[in-house]
């Protein structure tokens, strides 16, 4: 009868692999590869799409800034009619072309008439045409507000590319952690299902041995306790697995923003440890030094400093006096090609605050902001370098720990098999077998947790690198 119990143990060991193989042959379960999963997140997740909108908004802002250099057509018409008398009719029209260096080219046509027309508005009967130019000699010649807005808008387009990467990488990191959590809980369920089956088969075998008088009745109590503990652990692990599936479904979307749920027929990638570094592009980094020159955070801060320098130049320009001069050649439409030097209009505008306290204070603030951002940039470079090095050390250490714990699992499995053989010869007890099995289960659970830490550590490095493309 002792050999009958040993037969039960053998059946419990081989039952689980056969079930899994049968499921694969019937296409009941299918692996949902990690690389495929990240592809769905990159392509369809709303927050990743939202991150791409940063570039579109920056391009729209650039279009707005370029609008400051668009030609402008202006028409001003006023007319007053009272008691059958035309008091006045005033038409002022102009066409202005702003240029890059603050110079503005202007062409105009005026046609005014009326009984009570202001004498300064008198023009020839055919109207008066003019062509001229306005030039700022102080403020606004080499930089002005519209020039600064356009330069900053171009910089913002580059900033938006870095911002998109930083926003997308956060979503991908959370998605990766959700996948690893799903895989961890799935492996725990598979583990508890296997040992729950073993415990039930062993329980039946023990009861059969008790009936034959080969084992004391108390052994059935101990075997039943193990069954209940295994079932309790299995139920708890299934609960965690269901919650992990729902969490993973938060990152699964299709076209037209259609959310999808994870099918029960899908299982996580079995040999993920062999592909994760290639999928997250951390394999090259682990074998070579990583340059942070093109890191999105570094580029973002550098572009911010570049934008602040534009503000500083604009505010430094405000220290200059404001001197605007304008010249326009005047002629009636018929004689426009006959240039007369004495027909013109000139203007001069001058403005200069005596103490410049507002302008000097604004310039100091701009310089302080540049210094502040430069400090942040220097700190960020050091922190990124240290984070990358620390993460590389952690991944290397976890790889060594995984090898060590794999040896522990094999050793505990060997001890369990040895105890089972001794049991068949009557030289061991059910208590010792349960103890050996508990040690093996605990070691396998620790191996699953360590494997999950290895995956998460790689995703942390992926997050630090901030290269989602």
Say what the pLDDT of residue 28 is: 46
Say what the pLDDT of residue 30 is: 86
Reading the block at residue 317, the tokens are 């320009």
Say what the pLDDT of residue 331 is: 83
Q: How many residues does the chain have?
A: 469
Say what the pLDDT of residue 267 is: 93
Q: Is 68 exposed, middle or buried (0-12, 13-18, 19+ CB in 10 A)?
A: middle
Say what the pLDDT of residue 16 is: 37
Break the chain down into helix, strand, coil percent, rounded to 5: 65, 15, 20
Say what the pLDDT of residue 460 is: 94
Tens of pLDDT, residue by residue over 29-76, are: 688 999 999 999 999 898 888 888 888 888 888 888 888 888 999 999
Cα–Cα distance for residue pair 311/373, rounded to 1 Å: 14
Q: Give the chain's domains with CATH numbers.
A: 2-64+147-305+370-465 (1.20.1600.10)
Q: Would you say the C-alpha torsion 425, 430, 432, 433 has a positive or negative sign?
A: positive
Q: Are 186 and 268 in contact (CB under 8 A)?
A: yes
pTM score, whole prediction: 0.82
Low-confidence ranges of the chain (pLDDT < 70): 1-29, 214, 286-289, 335-341
Q: Which of 242, 222, 240 is nearest to 438 (CA)?
A: 222
Say what the pLDDT of residue 395 is: 92
Q: Residue 275 carries which DSSP code?
A: T
Tens of pLDDT, residue by residue over 299-320, are: 999 999 999 999 999 999 999 9
Q: Which of 186, 239, 415 is nearest to 231 (CA)?
A: 239
């Amino acid at each position: 009868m002792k050999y009958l119990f040993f037969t039960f143990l053998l059946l419990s060991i081989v039952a689980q692999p056969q079930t899994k193989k049968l499921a694969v042959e019937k296409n009941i379960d299918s692996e949902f590869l990690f690389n495929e999963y990240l592809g769905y997140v990159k392509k369809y997740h709303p927050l990743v799409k939202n991150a791409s909108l940063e570039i579109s908004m920056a391009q729209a802002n650039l279009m707005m800034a370029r609008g400051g250099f668009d030609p402008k057509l202006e028409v001003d018409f006023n007319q007053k009619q009272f008691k059958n008398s035309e008091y006045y009719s005033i038409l002022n029209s102009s066409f202005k072309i702003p240029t890059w260096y603050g110079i503005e080219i202007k062409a105009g046509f005026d046609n005014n008439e009326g009984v009570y027309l202001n004498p300064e508005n008198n023009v020839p009967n055919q109207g008066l045409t003019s062509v001229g130019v306005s030039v700022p000699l102080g403020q606004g010649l080499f930089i002005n507000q519209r020039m600064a807005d356009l330069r900053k808008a171009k910089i913002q387009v580059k900033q938006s590319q870095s911002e998109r990467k930083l926003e997308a990488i956060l979503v991908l990191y959370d998605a990766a952690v959700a996948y690893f959590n799903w895989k961890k809980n799935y492996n725990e369920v598979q583990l508890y299902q296997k040992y729950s089956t073993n415990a039930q088969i062993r329980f039946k075998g023990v009861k059969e041995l008790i009936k034959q008088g080969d084992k004391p009745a108390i052994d059935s109590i101990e075997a039943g306790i193990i069954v209940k503990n295994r079932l309790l652990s299995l139920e708890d692990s299934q609960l965690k697995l269901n919650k992990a599936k729902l969490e993973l479904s938060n990152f699964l979307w299709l076209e037209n923003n259609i959310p999808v749920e994870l099918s029960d027929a899908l299982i996580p990638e079995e040999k993920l440890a062999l592909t994760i570094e290639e999928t997250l592009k951390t394999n090259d980094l682990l074998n070579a030094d990583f340059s942070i020159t093109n890191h999105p955070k570094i580029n973002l801060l550098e572009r911010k400093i570049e934008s602040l320098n534009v503000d500083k130049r604009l505010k430094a320009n405000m220290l200059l006096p404001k001197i605007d001069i304008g010249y326009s050649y005047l002629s009636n439409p018929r004689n426009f090609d006959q240039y007369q030097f004495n027909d013109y209009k000139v203007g001069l505008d001058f403005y200069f605050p005596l103490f410049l306290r507002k302008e000097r204070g604004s310039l100091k603030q701009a310089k302080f902001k540049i210094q502040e951002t430069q400090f942040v940039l220097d700190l960020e470079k050091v922190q990124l370098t240290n984070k990358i090095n620390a993460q590389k050390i952690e991944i290397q250490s976890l790889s060594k720990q995984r090898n060590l714990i794999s040896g522990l699992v094999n050793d505990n499995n060997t001890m369990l098999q040895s105890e089972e053989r001794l049991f068949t010869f009557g030289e061991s007890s059910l208590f010792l077998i349960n103890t050996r099995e508990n040690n093996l289960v605990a070691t396998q659970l620790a191996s699953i947790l360590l494997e999950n830490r290895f995956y998460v550590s790689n995703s942390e490095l992926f997050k630090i690198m901030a290269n989602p493309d």
